[in-house]
Amino acid sequence: MTEVRSAQADSLSAISPVNKGIGFLEREAAAEEIAALGWNLLKEELSLPAAVLYKDRLTHNLNWMQQFIDAYGVRLAPHGKTTMAPKLFQMQLRHGAWGITLATAHQTLVAHRHGVRRVLMANQLVGKENMAIVGRLLEDSDFEYYCLVDSADQVEQLGAFYSQRGLRLQVLLELGVMGGRTGVRDEEQLQSVLAALSRWSHAVILCGVEMYEGVLDDESSIRAFLQRAVEVTRRLAAEKRFQRAPILLSGAGSVWYDVVAEVFSAAGFGDAAEIVLRPGCYLTHDVGAYREAQAKILERNPIARQMRSGLLPALQVWAYVQSVPEAEKAIIGMGKRDAAFDSGLPVPALHYRPGEAEPKPAPAHWSLTKMMDQHAYMKKSEQDNLRVGDMIGFDILHPCLTFDKWRVLPVLNAEYGVVDLVQTFF
């Protein structure tokens, strides 16, 4: 497990009073100070809309995934781009994660600044200032970093930059598929990358193989892609192309991690390879694509089945009913500025009228029909007891694009009290 250092003592940890979705602050304060104020969602002490995390559900999900990963004897490097919340990274590391996966040099900088010391940047590193950001981080000898290469041009650019500075950059070869995203498609591209790596072997260090199966959507193509990754890894190992032992072999987003775990761990590398999986959305889960994916995993995977529980949605956005202008329509004070809308609109989950003891489940016939920048249209029935000032808690679809709408998310206990605050750094 990577050591989690305390974050540098600078103003990064101060939460500003001008953030949305929090309660009243006289001045900037640290999360611990704010938690001591005892804000409660049901007492209307947060300005809505607010995105909140449920502490018990986060803990459940953290334990669930780590248990699953451990059962396969592989490593977890959760994708941090989902939340970009260093406090959540630290929770993931404390629960046993091997490192944090990220997508950009900027995200890597954020993680390093907050004490993360092992980053798999599952992306190509391109561009002078991006290479410089990583170069400065590599001066910290405790910092372990990997990024991807998939073209000779890119390797040439990395080689020229890092060799000039006397630095060694660790990389994974990315495999891809026709019609997919990045990654070498065929033997010709592979050989061209390997030739470039040979030219720059003092500065660009090949440590393993990476792929992202999520660009495909049927299990048999994914299994074939995984087998190809295993075979390429085996062949390059036989050719002694890797400068790291064990070799790194990495795959898996949030939808197919079980199949990746199964195929890679069955490949028979033993101690010769360290297998690293990168799901990111398990932490907060959702009620859309990831819930569907998880249901399939619980169906097809024997280890997941044995665990007798699944992942739980741990992120909600709460908002007010601001107008009920038509018998079958309520207007909600939440919009595209507050929640993801690209994989389906948020789903009304809880209904709370200030003053009542606790929220009730929202009727199943309530649903959002449209979102604008700052508003949502909710379909209801004429006879529903719903009025202006009522609060609705929405489950969300696509956590990544919900997190990036918020700079601070209160963490709630079972009584809807704020026990912590999580900052994001997008």
Among positions 159-218, residues that touch a copy of itself (CB under 8 A) are: 176, 178, 180-185, 189
Contact call for residue 42 and a copy of itself (CB under 8 A):
no
Asked whether the beta carbons of 261 and 251 are under 8 A apart, the reply is no
Strands 169-175 vs 367-371: parallel, antiparallel or unpaired: unpaired
C-alpha span between 278 and 228 (Å, rounded): 19
Contact call for residue 153 and a copy of itself (CB under 8 A):
yes
- Buried b / exposed e over 45-58, threshold 16 CB at 10 Å, is bbebbbbbbbbebb
Closest CA to 347 of 414, 410, 397, 389: 397
Contact call for residue 151 and a copy of itself (CB under 8 A):
yes
Judged by CB under 8 A, which of 34, 58, 74, 105 binds a copy of itself? Answer: 105
Binding part of the chain for a copy of itself, among 87-95, 145-153, 163-171, 266-274 by CB under 8 A, reads 145-153
Angle at 22 between CA 20 and CA 28, to 5 degrees: 90
C-alpha span between 110 and 426 (Å, rounded): 9
C-alpha span between 66 and 180 (Å, rounded): 29
Which is nearer to a copy of itself, 151 or 301 (by Cβ)?
A: 151
Binding part of the chain for a copy of itself, among 61-69, 163-171, 287-295, 401-409 by CB under 8 A, reads 401-409
Contact call for residue 342 and a copy of itself (CB under 8 A):
yes
Judged by CB under 8 A, which of 15, 31, 34, 48 binds a copy of itself? Answer: 48
Using CB under 8 A as the binding rule, the residues of this chain from 349 to 388 that contact a copy of itself are 354, 372-375, 377, 387-388
Which is nearer to a copy of itself, 127 or 361 (by Cβ)?
A: 127
Binding part of the chain for a copy of itself, among 89-97, 255-263, 291-299, 335-343 by CB under 8 A, reads 335-343
Contact call for residue 254 and a copy of itself (CB under 8 A):
no
Judged by CB under 8 A, which of 1, 5, 12, 369 binds a copy of itself? Answer: 12
Angle between helix axes 55-71 and 86-94 (nearest 10 degrees) is 50
Structure-block tokens of residue 308: 């007798």
C-alpha span between 151 and 327 (Å, rounded): 59
Contact call for residue 337 and a copy of itself (CB under 8 A):
yes
Contact call for residue 21 and a copy of itself (CB under 8 A):
yes
Binding part of the chain for a copy of itself, among 20-28, 65-73, 193-201, 356-364 by CB under 8 A, reads 20-28
Contact call for residue 289 and a copy of itself (CB under 8 A):
no
Structure-block tokens of residue 281: 């959305």
